[in-house]
Amino acid sequence: MKEYYINELKSNMEIIDFFMVKSIGIKVGSNNKQYLDLHLADNTGEVSAKKWDVSEGEQPALSAIKEGNIVKVKAQVTEWNGMKQLRVLRIRKSTEADVLELSDFIKAAPEQPEDMYRFITDCANEIKDDDLREITSKLLKDNKDRLWYYPAASRNHHAEYAGLLWHMKRMIMSGKALCKIYDFLNEDLVVTGVIIHDMEKLNEIDASENGIASGYSMKGQLLGHIVQGVTMIDELCKELGIDEEKAIVLEHMILTHHYEPEFGSPKKPMFPEAEILHYLDVMDARMFDMEEALDGVGPGGFSERIRVLDNRRVYRPLFINKEE
């Protein structure tokens, strides 16, 4: 039975408990000694971990530990650059005798996949443009099985069971609300953009049916979901006989939604619905990351430094979330 959860760990604690391996590798330090570099997880978050001075005798057992395995560790909780880190003293793979609950180790979206999928398909069915409705409905139907469990990332925002659906649903909700404020926006195009923009993450990321990402596929590493998405829409529109201009508009939305070349977008958005898609994506990712950072932080407290938020620490104001 699991006793210590990552969001409850404090500096100087010594723990013996089970965690899931998100990433693992044996590296060489500046002192030319080998060490084990890991990211461990449970259903409350992730934590970096190191096992220093790995001996040759330890290497076979450590090399047998793979991403997705559950391991038992004895470790000390330390801090490095303002972030929690585990100094691993002992580590082994779990066995059947350990009697573990998988739900303790898998972080999941807060809503049921079937409910999120139904909401998104209902929104697709409400699209007035026949071509856009056909494209989104077909993509949702063809990818239903994997959408129910796929994460939206291997790390960072929405890297959880059914995280892609959760990301998609919240973006649609925000997009519909903004279309009421900026009423010159075409809501059909905004909703379509949300549904298609990350769909190729299903083929970019390798993930198990537990929603655990083990890394990136060959195509994912060489092309990425943006290029894969543009190709997917180009082929689908040709198959469905969709007008070329409409296909290019959708391809542009996928191509530009990361906004900057260093993040994978060679062009910036060139029409309002593409621009709003980028900000819907960023807003939902940032709110996810900040909500995660504040989990377990009391009023007046700061989170650890969050790498994906430019190493910012997130503050919870004293007057927010006070009990009535």
305 SS3 class: strand
pLDDT band at residue 250 using 50, 70 and 90 as cut-offs: very high
> What's residue 259's pLDDT?
94
| Residue 324, pLDDT above cutoff 60 | no
Strands 34-42 and 45-51: antiparallel
Answer for the pair 226, 258: CB distance below 8 angstroms, yes or no: yes
Percent of the chain, pLDDT > 90?
Answer: 68
Non-local CB neighbours of 183 within 8 Å, separated by 6+ positions: none
Query: Bigger pLDDT: 107 or 200?
Result: 200
Mean pLDDT of 119-148: 98
> What's residue 304's pLDDT?
82
Which stretch of 38-47, 234-243, 253-262 has the lowest confidence by average pLDDT?
38-47
Mean pLDDT of 51-70: 89
Residue 126 carries which DSSP code? Answer: T
Backbone dihedral angles phi then psi of residue 305, each to the nearest 5 degrees: -70, 135
| Residue 59, pLDDT above cutoff 90 | no
Reference 113, options 215, 231, 33, 210; nearest CA is: 210
Mean pLDDT of 131-158: 92
Mean pLDDT of 296-316: 88
> What's residue 321's pLDDT?
65
> What's residue 323's pLDDT?
52
Query: What CA–CA distance (Å, rounded) separates 298 from 317?
Result: 9
Domains of the chain (ranges; CATH) run: 6-104 (2.40.50.140), 113-289 (no CATH)
Answer for the pair 33, 21: CB distance below 8 angstroms, yes or no: no
Query: What CA–CA distance (Å, rounded) separates 82 from 85?
Result: 9
